[in-house]
Structure 1
Amino acid sequence: MTSISSTRSLNLDLPPSCIAFCPTQPRLFVVGTYHLHDSTTAKEEPASSAAEGEASDHEDGAVEAAQKRSGSLILYELLDGDEIIHVATEPTPDFAILDAQWSPHTAGHGELLAVATSTGSLALYDLGTNDHGSKRLVPRGSKQICEASTLVLSLAWHPSRADVVGVTLSDGRVCLCACESSREGRPLWADEEASVSVTTVHEHSLEAWALAFTGRDDDGITGILSGGDDLTLQLSTVDESRTITSTPRWQDRRIHQAGVTAIFPLDAPNLIVTGSYDDHIRLIAAPSTGRRRVLAEVHLGGGVWRLKALVSGLPGREGAAASPATTALSGSTRSLFILASCMHAGTRILKLSCSQQAEEEEEESWAFKVLARFEEHKSMNYGSDMQPSEGSVRTIVSTSFYDRLLCLWRFDVGAE
């Protein structure tokens, strides 16, 4: 396993909770920050500390509900020569940021960024320019989707509908938010007068940490996976042909030994990669009926908070927080390179491979291999992302929470 060093690093003013490169302008990326204001009894982190034996946000919510949270959205540009240029900062004095995702639906909507806030809303931004022609983040209003005392913990854009965003909430709910605008031709989420309808898909008994869409069939049926602090991974199907209605399919509390914090569906039938507070990444066979099985797993030394694809022959489905696939299948071996944010263990790069055990056998053999580790972060690594690019060398920016550190580093998947 290779140990990687940074080529550039810098310190932030506030603790970083998430990071996202702009898919259409790959030199630009945003960092969201989260600051819980002074208290002798509260944690200064957006995620549960259940993995470390502390009370979670759900358990001590009465204490934290009265506290003030704030943050910021910072726009950076990555230049040749590994320069990281601060472009603009949009303060968010009334809320902290827990997640931020660029919309994949750019046609007619531009570069739109949805932000999960600590006050039960989705805040919307897009890219604009200031009087000097420099890029800036332009606020496009917010949509209140639940009580202001409830945190929006994560979000995911629907893979085929620009008007729908999925969210997970600190009270355990997993919801679909549909934006409805009466003004024809107006970009939906940027319309401050547009209303939002919220449909609860299913619920967890503790915080719902992550969700992912599993695709949409010809009948308008979409699968929605979610994971929660209650150790549960669950699937519902949603009929979007008329009004949004959901049907629970299964729940699994057997596989994970702690909260399910990351979900990454593969573009292969019924295969899911998950991350958990129990420090494991797993490949799970999850058919719509029948028993779910772990096909491969590995201990990564820290809670697996986020998962991203680097280069793959088994790409994640569109809308599942994955980077585009750029490597074709070769021979009988299929592979997927994964970037994992591992909280107190730093960042890992893994290769998930599949090959048939023998020509006469139909059973496939799966395995994770840890290729590299980045361990310059001295506190919680919640956010890592890869710059969209061609070629085998991937440029990665990772962050850590308490030490407020941002690092730039690279990995060559072509060498593996």
Structure 2
Amino acid sequence: MKRKLTAVLTVALAAGIMVTGCGSSNSGTETKESAATTAGDTTAAGDTKAAGDTATEAAKSGEVTTIRFYGSDSEYNQNIVAGFQTENPDIKVEIVPVDFDNAEQIIKTGIASGDPVDVSFFWGSQINAFTDDNMAYDITPYLTENNNEWKDTFVPAYIDAGMVDGKYYAVSYQPVIETIFYNKDLFTQYNVEIPKTWDEFVEACKVFKDNGVYGVGNWNGQNHQLLQFAYQYMANDGTLEEYVAGKGDFTQCEGLKKCLENWKSVYDAGYWYPGEGALTSTKDQTQAAWYQGKVAMMFDAGSNAGEYTKNSEFEVGILPFPYVAEGGKYALNTVTNALFIPANAKHPEEAVRFMKYYTSDAGIEEIIKSGRLPATISMQDKVDSEILKDLLATTVGDNVVGYKQMQGLSSEINSFLQNDMVGMVCTGTSVEDTLEQLEDLKQATVKGE
């Protein structure tokens, strides 16, 4: 752990900068332990009214605290911020636009510099990337005060995604759900049936290629979504729980072997946009091809369903990940978009108030209107979008097996799965050597290196 933290500090000092939009640094740094103690001292039952009175008095006196929020500057976030500021005139929220592809490194650099944002986006199921280095604030006391009043507003699987060793460090506001969006018009035009197995998926890609259309759209830095097929294999051969917990030997993981071999065959066949250069295609390039009708199936997070339906000139559908064998088990991830507070944030109390509003009915309503699914219980039946209903339909059934992705094992494993593994195999590294590197990373994590 010391080695990891030292590396982060080195990056911060070498860069000489902090998260974009951050102010001057502060030499005082609060540890996770002291943050947890502070939370416990200030959020005991009965203190809520006092906090509200303090906010009202501050507003009347003209005192305003500015907190920085590392998150998307999308319309729904702007609306949530506006609503929060109306109800909390003593707090101003400054949105610092998030760089999703480099979020972990940027957030850690800000923390190590001593001047992080006050509230930050991250993935709930991967929050251990920060707890491992004591970089996340323990929000358990806030969630559990007043007999779990705030905690019980969430779907259990989603709020528990942000729990590490029995404590909560992240609040999940929406499930991500890895998804395949498909162009219904292209499927109809070329008389392609919805693929239900991997073999049918490959056959569909062949038909599209024969007609000048790429079957697969996926951009550089997002290859972890392609590993959904590995999880399908593991769900069906009984090894899913073992491997996602990091207990199995990855060099012996048949599900990963088959998945990597499959994707190399798709890459070699030229089914993956744009053929040559598929592994380096950017998000903008790939999405542009999708909107132009050059890509039949797009791999992305279900949270972007609203974006695709709004911006596409053709009908968009949700395609469940094909089974490895028809009638088998369906592996479903529990990845969530979440908010957390850096351990040394300057305004944790104000940050908690913002997070509570963000996950209130008023905040979640904005998230639903943007075409995203809610993580709170009271808003589950408020989803009226047909594509979101189709997405929710992929999450239920007697054959559905939930799991947390392997990215949560460590930040190094996360980077390898997201950026390296599929590309290594497609460009010539053997599957055996690639899985050996993954196993080495896991062993290093076990040893605490």
Task: Please give the TM-score of this superposition, normalised by the length of structure 2.
Answer: 0.24
- The higher-RCO structure (CA 8 Å, 6+ apart) is 2
Q: Which has the higher strand share?
A: 1
Larger Rg: 2
Task: Please give the TM-score of this superposition, normalised by the length of structure 1.
Answer: 0.25
